[in-house]
Amino acid sequence: MIILFFILALFVTFVVTRTFAHKFHDMKNYGTKKERSNTITGILREKTNYDWHHFHLGIIILLIVIPIILLKGLGNIGAIFLAIGISLFIDQLVPIIYRKINYFHKKSLVISFLFHLIILLLAVIFYYFIN
């Protein structure tokens, strides 16, 4: 059952993140000083003056959830938060590392989806290998 929670959370996070980013982000001024975003990371940017992305939120979630999983084991809630953190992290990984790919372009969407599929396959293999 844990693997189902992980898979569901991984892809729900991907779909919700992409949908909200495209709906509430200022794509016209993306990457400029004029950029205004109504997303969580946009609000964080305004409040903290740091260049927040959901990539960073994924890292924070992973830094919190991984030690808890190591100490208490992987339950359904742990699997959900692990999947959310991984999804947020890998969704923006390529545009952050390779700045020539814009997050809002189709190429970024396809690459991110492929990364999610790879994580899904690795998770399923790992889950069935240890069980």
Cα gap 55→96, rounded to integer Å: 8
* pLDDT attached to residue 33: 64
For the chain, the structural domain boundaries read 2-130
CB atoms within 10 A of CB 120: 16
Whole-number pLDDT of residue 35: 65
Tens of pLDDT, residue by residue over 61-71, are 999 999 999 99
Token reading at 69: 């999983």
Residue 41 and residue 26: Cα distance in Å, rounded?
12
pLDDT of residue 34: 65
Distance linking the first and last C-alpha atoms of the chain: 12
For the chain, which ranges sit under pLDDT 70? Answer: 26-36
pLDDT score of 22: 81
Per-residue model confidence (pLDDT) at position 32: 63
